């Protein structure tokens, strides 16, 4: 999925908020990595690094690469965990 991070940053500066649905690894170091999917509020973006920043469960800061993002939508305040992928 392609994102115009400069335009997204501009929209966030104007007060628009977004949520992102993304995948993350459940296990590492195995022959077959497993992933899960969840959604969280998008907190910030870095044009220079090409990263997206969110808070896992509203507390723990994490960053994501564009290829981990499944979709982006206006923030409705509902954040979910989805079944393993």
**Cα–Cα distance for residue pair 41/21, rounded to 1 Å:** 9
Report whether 34 contacts 85 (CB < 8 A): yes
Number of domains in the chain: 1
**Tens digits of per-residue pLDDT, 15-73?**
999 999 999 887 666 666 788 899 999 999 998 999 999 998 888 899 999 999 999 99
CB atoms within 10 A of CB 44: 13
Domain encompassing residue 66: 5-82
The confidence band for 83, taking pLDDT boundaries of 50, 70 and 90, is: confident
pLDDT at 82: 87
Write the CATH number for 49.
2.30.30
């Amino acid at each position: 999925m392609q994102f115009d991070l400069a335009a997204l940053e501009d929209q966030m500066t104007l007060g628009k908020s977004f949520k992102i649905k993304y995948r993350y690894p459940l296990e590492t170091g195995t022959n077959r990595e497993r992933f899960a999917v969840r959604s969280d509020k998008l907190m910030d973006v870095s044009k220079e690094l090409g990263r997206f920043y969110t808070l896992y469960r509203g507390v723990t800061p994490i960053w994501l690469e564009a290829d981990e993002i499944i979709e982006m939508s206006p923030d409705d305040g509902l954040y979910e965990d989805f079944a393993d992928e």
